[in-house]
Structure 1
Amino acid sequence: MHHIPRPHDLLWGLTPTRLPAEAPAWARQVLAEGQPVVVRRALVEKGQIAVGVRGAARGQRYGTVMPLALILRCVSPEQLMEQPALGELPALRALTLLKPYLDELRLAWGPTGSVGFQLATGVETIHVASDLDLVLRTPQPLSRTLAKELQCLVDEVPCRVDLQLETPSGAIALREWASGSARVLLKCATGARLVTSPWDLAELAA
């Protein structure tokens, strides 16, 4: 397990009794069934991690916190690519098609969202119209030229793909970085902000 879980990692160990009193019944049921929570971006107290509970319906998302000490298991998106993602649904076929190209980058990457959740748990969360959500970890700047090439690739697969570039400071959308826009939206623990370079720590500290 990572020293500190990262956004999109799936964590097992949170129990219904740890949820606030106002938590919805469906969230308690999900945890009672032993399902994982997903790490989200938010500032929390030391020893805690911000997580989200995922329900069966699209609108069933509940944000809460989890003590780090409760984590029994952690699975990252890149770990989900250690075994083939077999299936005929468009999102799974898209994942199979993109795998050789993304592997060539020699960067950590993997599925998040409904595809990642299904691969990690076996719970059927993907349907014929599901998007494919991916994260590509980019500790160093990714050129705009390469971003455009990648966007062309993901636009050719049989479903919509939302690929997020995970930088040391937060995440940006590949589509936005490839567009040539002067400023892009960086999502980080403190919220979202427009920046010219997500990898420029000096700009982000300003």
Structure 2
Amino acid sequence: MVSTLMAHDLLWGMSPEQLPADAPAWVIDSLSAGQPVVVRRAVSVAGQVAVGVRGRLREQRYAASMAIDSMTRRVQPEALCHVDSPRDLPALRALKQLRPLLDRCGWTWGVSGSAGFELASGFEALHEGSDLDLILRTAQPLSRVHARALVAQLDAAQCVVDMQLQTPFGAVALREWAGASSRVLLKNASQACLVLDPWNPQEQAA
């Protein structure tokens, strides 16, 4: 089960009893309200998964560990691509605008961040100034030329859109891969390192 859980997955079932004794009150309130937690990209001990708890405020983010056997539900970002919301906000309008483009791109994509949290849980997490966070599961290399073209298309949306490329070896920001720097930051469960090619992590910067 541990190997199947991926960063940005939303999980239900964590109870306040799994929190450390010094956890802030808002963290306890979030779990007591039935909110999901999000899987973090971090190493965990056997039987646990690294997760993050969201609060109502942007700065309210709490790193914790959840017992895998307490999980009652899991929603992955790609399950949220075509979930609609009654709310009218720039991030949700941008998602609707970009759906046809992303559906045609040939890659598996998904919704993460505040938009993903709200669409999956029903708890309001977006506001007028929220960015739209997306992921693209790129098992095979995405060329820098295609990355630049994709950035240009995302920049035509109604809000700022941030996309992470999920390679087999970790995640890299689309905008960074589309940029001019030869090396980009690749993040995985154990480290963040500069690489020349996110699909070939042996090519690491010295």
Aligning the two structures, in what range does the TM-score lie when normalised by the shorter sequence? Answer: over 0.9
Structure 1 residues 202, 192: closer, same or farther in 2, change over 3 A?
Answer: closer
Structure 1 residues 86, 146: closer, same or farther in 2, change over 3 A?
Answer: farther
Could you tell me whether the CA contact under 8 Å between 2:186 and 2:198 is conserved in 1? Answer: yes
CA distance in 1, matches of 2:115, 2:183: 30
Q: Which residue of 1 aligns with 2:70?
A: 70
Aligned-residue identity in percent: 54
Tell me the CA shift for residue 83 of structure 1: 3.0
Could you tell me whether the CA contact under 8 Å between 2:35 and 2:123 is conserved in 1? Answer: no
Task: Please say if 1:34 is aligned against 2:31.
Answer: no
Q: Which residue of 2 aligns with 1:140?
A: 140
Q: Which residue of 1 aligns with 2:124?
A: 124
Q: Deviation digits for residues 82-131 of structure 1, max 9, x if unmatched?
A: 43355421101111111111111222111111111110111111111100
Q: Which residue of 2 aligns with 1:107?
A: 107
Consecutive unaligned residues of structure 1, counting only runs of 5 or more, are none
Could you tell me whether the CA contact under 8 Å between 1:87 and 1:93 is conserved in 2? Answer: no
Could you tell me whether the CA contact under 8 Å between 1:144 and 1:180 is conserved in 2? Answer: no
Could you tell me whether the CA contact under 8 Å between 1:137 and 1:165 is conserved in 2? Answer: yes
Alignment of 1:164-203 (within 5 A): 164-203=164-203
Could you tell me whether the CA contact under 8 Å between 1:112 and 1:135 is conserved in 2? Answer: yes
CA distance in 2, matches of 1:34, 1:85: 19
Structure 1 residues 2, 68: closer, same or farther in 2, change over 3 A?
Answer: closer
- The size of the alignment, in residue pairs, is 205
CA distance in 2, matches of 1:119, 1:77: 10
Could you tell me whether the CA contact under 8 Å between 2:195 and 2:201 is conserved in 1? Answer: no
Length-normalised TM-score, structure 2 = 0.94
Does 79-88 or 188-197 show the bigger shift? 79-88
Could you tell me whether the CA contact under 8 Å between 1:85 and 1:96 is conserved in 2? Answer: no
Length-normalised TM-score, structure 1 = 0.94
CA distance in 2, matches of 1:42, 1:2: 12
Could you tell me whether the CA contact under 8 Å between 1:39 and 1:51 is conserved in 2? Answer: yes
CA distance in 2, matches of 1:5, 1:170: 14
CA RMSD in angstroms, aligned pairs only? 1.7
Could you tell me whether the CA contact under 8 Å between 2:83 and 2:119 is conserved in 1? Answer: no
The letter for the 1-side match of 2:128 is: V
Could you tell me whether the CA contact under 8 Å between 2:27 and 2:62 is conserved in 1? Answer: yes
Does 156-165 or 80-89 show the bigger shift? 80-89
CA distance in 1, matches of 2:116, 2:104: 21
CA distance in 2, matches of 1:155, 1:2: 36
The letter for the 1-side match of 2:107 is: L
CA distance in 1, matches of 2:3, 2:169: 17
